[in-house]
Structures are given as structure tokens and as C-alpha cells.
Amino acid sequence: MATLENILVERDQDVAVITVNRPKALNSLNSQTLRELTSAVRDCADARAIILTGAGDRAFVAGADISEMAPMTPWAAREFSELGHVLTALIEDIPCAAIAAVNGYALGGGLELAVACDMIFASENAKLGLPEVSLGVTPGFGGTQRLVRLVGKLKAKEMIFTGEMVDATAALDMGLVNAVFPREKLLPHCREIAAPSGSSSAATICRCAPPTARKPNRSHSSSTPKIAARACAPSWKNALPSSPESRSWTSH
């Protein structure tokens, strides 16, 4: 595995834990982090289960990296969106079980990362949402289609159109997460869920998955040009918070 700067990878027998390790930036996703995640998921695809989580106690992944997004040209924005599509499609299609341990904010690309997984478990302080509408862009990693599969068309549209966050309890009620735990019990529970899979091969787990969970949706790429078209709009750039800590949706 290549040298990794922004993520941590831990292999314990046949369970891999991949942690986005940018806590000062609320584990936001820049191009390098997306590439490292893609490489790590690909390298761990022979495991029986992969657990994705974020470093620290505030965020799973709080979205895309603002400092990288602000100066993007349309072409750079398209390339960035494609990186996200490659990663989420890979997570969706790998033969092993993918589990998201959402330990805080899962916003924008963070929620899109989570909904590409087979299971989502959340901590009590988790907040989930797609706030892109407040910036004048659309979710760029295919999350709009995947969200519909989990919560239904009407609820998905409400989340996408309003950009509002939901807390862990509401996410559980709408079927967006499997279960909610105190923060200190979240990762142990995910490891426990992953452990029984150890008696089965990755190929068997893949065959057990519902067809819709493993079928690539080529329409995901339709959002990519929309992201690119908005990249140079002054209103979009002016709406971007100056730093992760100043994101209006993470200040509550």
C-alpha cells in the first residue's frame, strides 16, 4: 500500500478499519484524501468487512475541503466530482461488507460516502445531511440516487431541497441508519457486526447482498457536469465558508 497521509488503515484479521484522519479539518475530503481512500478500499477489498470512520469525536466526514473547492475551475470541479464517483462506486461494488461508523457530522460528501456502504451505524452526536443547496451546487458523488434507496423519494427530496441536517434519532426513524450508540460504543459495535462475517467468504457476502445494492447506477455521473458548471459562479464562491470551522451547518 502506498504511503498515506490523510487516512489510517488498520487490519485485524479479516476486518479492515479505514479512518479519515483530518480532525482539524473535520475530516473534510480533498483530492488527495479521495485518492487515498480509493487506494485503501481497493487494497482492503479482499477483507471480509471494511469499516469506514473519521478521526476525533466531532466528524465522520463534514463534506468537501473548502480550501480546495474555492479556487476550482469548472474542469477541476469535474475531476474532483469524478474522484468521488469512483470512490463511492468502488465501496458499493466491492465483494466485502462495507460499514460506515458515523461518529459526528456526515455532511455532503460525507453522507454520500456513508450511503454507499452496506450498513450505517451512528453515534448519538451524529448529524447527517446534504447542505449543498445552500452553496448553489448539487451533491456531487451520486448520493442523491443512493439516498432515495434508503429513505424513499419524498424524504430524500426534502433533505436535498432544504439542505437541513437530521440528528441521529431522526436518521434512525427514517431508516437512514441501522442503529444509534453512545460514541464510545460505536466502533466496538461495528467490529462486532463485522466479526460474524469472518466465517463466510467475501464472495458469499457479495452474493447475499440485494441486487440494487451491488448494481452500478450510471446515472450517478449526471451530477458531475452540474458541479463543474457551478464552479466559477461568483455566487457559489462567495457562499463558501472561509474554513471548516466556519461552516454554518457545523456550528450548532
Domains and their CATH numbers in the chain? 7-186+212-250 (3.90.226.10)
In this prediction, residue 227 carries a pLDDT of 44
pLDDT in tens, 133-164: 888 788 888 899 999 999 999 999 999 999 99
Active site amino acids: 112, 132
For residue 203, pLDDT over 80 is answered with: no
Which residues have C-beta within 8 Å of that of residue 48, sequence separation ≥ 6? 14, 15, 96, 97, 194, 197, 198, 200, 201, 202, 205
Q: How far is 147 from 97, CA to CA, in rounded Å?
A: 18
Q: What is the pTM of this model?
A: 0.81
pLDDT in tens, 90-148: 999 999 999 999 999 999 999 999 999 999 999 999 999 999 888 878 888 889 999 99
